[in-house]
Copies of this chain bind each other. A is one copy, B any other.
Amino acid sequence: MARIAPLSGFPEWLPEGRAVESHILRTVAHVFELHGFVGIETRAVEPLEQLLSKGETSKEVYLLRRLQEDGEQSGSGDKTLGLHFDLTVPLARYVLENAGHLSFPFKRYQIQKVWRGERPQDGRFREFTQADIDVVGSEELPFHFEVELPLVIAEAFAALTGIGLPPVRISVNNRKVAQGFYEGLGLADVDGVLRTIDKLDKIGPDAVVAALQSDNGATEEQARACLALASITGTDASVAERVLALGVRTPRLEEGLDELVRLVETAAARAPGVVVADLRIARGLDYYTGSVYETTLVGHEQLGSICSGGRYDSLASDGSRTYPGVGLSIGVSRLVSRLLGAGLSAPSRAVPTAVLVAVSDEAHRGASDAVAAALRGRDIPTDVAPNAAKFGKQIRHADRRSIPFVWFPGADGAPDQVKDIRTGEQVDADPATWEPPVADRWPAVLPQPS
C-alpha cells in the first residue's frame, strides 16, 4: 500500500467536520429554496475552449486525459476536457444548452466542488466546494434582482449564526459608478484603472497613485481623485452626495449611484447592518457590468472574501439572444476551514445515532435488531452494539461516540430499559412509544465556547 499522506490543497474533513459542512449546505440550500431557487448540478468537466472563453483564469485549469489513450491521437474523437474552476462558466453553458426547457428569469442554486490547477507549493485550495445562486434573464433582467440576491445571501448567513458563524459584512459597489467616474475624469483605460484600484489592499494608496500614473495614463490629480472615490463607504444616500462632491458627473455615474443607493437603502431596511457600500470594491473579472459584491466575516477579515459576485449583462449569448445574470458564490470550504480551524463550531456528537441497543449475547441479537427497527420506524436514529461484550464495554462504545442513550432489551419477560449515559438515569421503556428529548433525536451543530 502506498504511503498515505494528505494532499496539499485538497481539504478533507473528519466526520465531525463533515457534519458542520453538511449542516451549512443544508441550511443555505433551504434558504435558497425558500426564495424559489431550483437546485441543479452540472457535470464536472467542460471542453477546454469553453473554460478559456473568459480568459483570465486559464492558468488554473486541470486538464483530463484517459490513462489508456491507446494508440489514439490525443484528443481524437473527443474534445480536450478540463475540470470546471467555478460554477458560472458551466451555468452559462447549461443555460444555452437547455434554454428551450427553462423558464426565465431562471433562478438556480448549485452546490458543487470546483478545481483550480494551482501549483502544489502555493498552499491554495485546489479542490473546494462552492454554493452559488444566480438569476439569469432572457434578454433583460430587472435591477431589483441585484438588490434581492445579496439579501438572500445575508439571510443564509444569518441562519448560520446559531452554529457559531460570526456576523458577515457584504460590501457592495457598482461598476457604473467607477466607470462613469473614470470616464468623467477623462481616463480612457477604465479596466486598467479598475485593476490597479483592486490592488489597494495589497500595495497601499501611495503605490496605487504611482501605478495609476505609470500604468494607466493618469495625472497625479486624476489618480488622487480615483483614490478619493475608492475611500468612500456608507449605507445611505450620503454615499452619492460624497461622490458627486468630487466634482465629476456623467449619466453613467449618476445611474450607478442611483442603483447603489437603492441597494444599500433597501438592504438597511431588510437586513440592518449587513450591506455597506464600499467604493474600493472592484472585483477583478471584466464581465461585471453593475452591482458587485464581496463578503467578509467580521473579525476574520484577513480570511478574504467568503462570498463574491455581481451583475453581468452578458453571462451567455448564442448570437441571437443574450442572457444577463446576477449571482453570488459562497466559498464553503474556506468557511468550513475557518469554523473548524478556529474551533467556532462542532457537532453535538460524531454519529447520527441517538440510541445504541445493547446485545446481551449473540443468540439474542435478533431481539436487539427488533428494538432498533421499532425505534427507526419512528425516525429515531439507532444502532445496535457490534458485539455482545460486557455491558460496561457497550456503554463505553456509546460514550466514545457521544451517543446519549443505551437501550437494554428485557430478558425473560422483564421490561426493556433505556439509560441516559450522561446522567446515569435508567428507566423502563417500550420501543413502540419511547421518545428521546427533541434536542437529542438528531445531532446538532453548536457554537463552541471561545
Using Cβ atoms and an 8 Å threshold, which residues of chain B touch A384? 148
CB contact under 8 A between A62 and B53, given known A96-B4, A97-B5? no
- Cα A339 to Cα B223 in complex, Å, equals 62
**A168 close to chain B: CB less than 8 A:** no
Using Cβ atoms and an 8 Å threshold, which residues of chain B touch A400? 103
Q: Which one of B101, B102, B117, B317 contacts A1 once the chains associate, using CB atoms below 8 Å? A: B317
CB contact under 8 A between A36 and B386, given known A115-B44, A127-B43, A318-B1? no
- B36 near A382 with CB under 8 A, answer yes
- Cα A62 to Cα B82 in complex, Å, equals 11
**A342 close to chain B: CB less than 8 A:** no
**A432 close to chain B: CB less than 8 A:** no
A56-98 residues with Cβ-Cβ distance < 8 A to B are 58-68, 77-79, 81-83, 93-94, 96-98
* Beyond A10-B45, A18-B39, A34-B352, 17 extra complex contacts between A and B, CB < 8 Å: A7-B47, A7-B81, A15-B40, A35-B376, A35-B381, A35-B382, A38-B352, A43-B127, A44-B44, A44-B115, A58-B68, A63-B65, A63-B67, A64-B64, A68-B117, A142-B386, A270-B369
- Cα A384 to Cα B33 in complex, Å, equals 13
How many monomers of this protein are in the complex? 2
State the Cβ distance, A34 to closest chain B Cβ, in Å: 5
State the Cβ distance, A274 to closest chain B Cβ, in Å: 15
- B66 near A376 with CB under 8 A, answer no
**A245 close to chain B: CB less than 8 A:** no
CB contact under 8 A between A18 and B43, given known A59-B68, A144-B365, A318-B4? no
- Cα A47 to Cα B351 in complex, Å, equals 29
- A67 near B77 with CB under 8 A, answer no
- Cα A137 to Cα B105 in complex, Å, equals 51
- Cα A62 to Cα B67 in complex, Å, equals 6
**A255 close to chain B: CB less than 8 A:** no
Q: List 11 A-B contacts (CB under 8 A).
A: A2-B50, A12-B42, A12-B43, A13-B41, A15-B40, A19-B38, A22-B39, A33-B442, A37-B352, A44-B127, A77-B121
CB contact under 8 A between A58 and B63, given known A33-B381, A103-B401? no
**A146 close to chain B: CB less than 8 A:** no
Q: Closest chain B residue to A354 by CB distance? A: B36
**A373 close to chain B: CB less than 8 A:** yes
State the Cβ distance, A142 to closest chain B Cβ, in Å: 6
Using Cβ atoms and an 8 Å threshold, which residues of chain B touch A383? 35-36, 107
**A446 close to chain B: CB less than 8 A:** no
Q: Which one of B2, B14, B40, B66 contacts A62 once the chains associate, using CB atoms below 8 Å? A: B66
Q: Closest chain B residue to A72 by CB distance? A: B119
**A311 close to chain B: CB less than 8 A:** no
**A258 close to chain B: CB less than 8 A:** no
- A49 near B2 with CB under 8 A, answer yes
**A353 close to chain B: CB less than 8 A:** yes
A250-283 residues with Cβ-Cβ distance < 8 A to B are 266, 270
Q: Closest chain B residue to A137 by CB distance? A: B386
**A229 close to chain B: CB less than 8 A:** no
State the Cβ distance, A328 to closest chain B Cβ, in Å: 18
Using Cβ atoms and an 8 Å threshold, which residues of chain B touch A144? 362, 365
State the Cβ distance, A148 to closest chain B Cβ, in Å: 8
The 8 closest A-B pairs by CB, nearest first: A36-B383, A66-B117, A33-B352, A10-B43, A36-B353, A61-B67, A15-B38, A59-B68
- B376 near A44 with CB under 8 A, answer no
- Cα A2 to Cα B316 in complex, Å, equals 11
- Cα A18 to Cα B142 in complex, Å, equals 27
**A206 close to chain B: CB less than 8 A:** no
CB contact under 8 A between A40 and B68, given known A34-B382, A77-B121? no
- Cα A37 to Cα B58 in complex, Å, equals 40
Q: Closest chain B residue to A359 by CB distance? A: B144
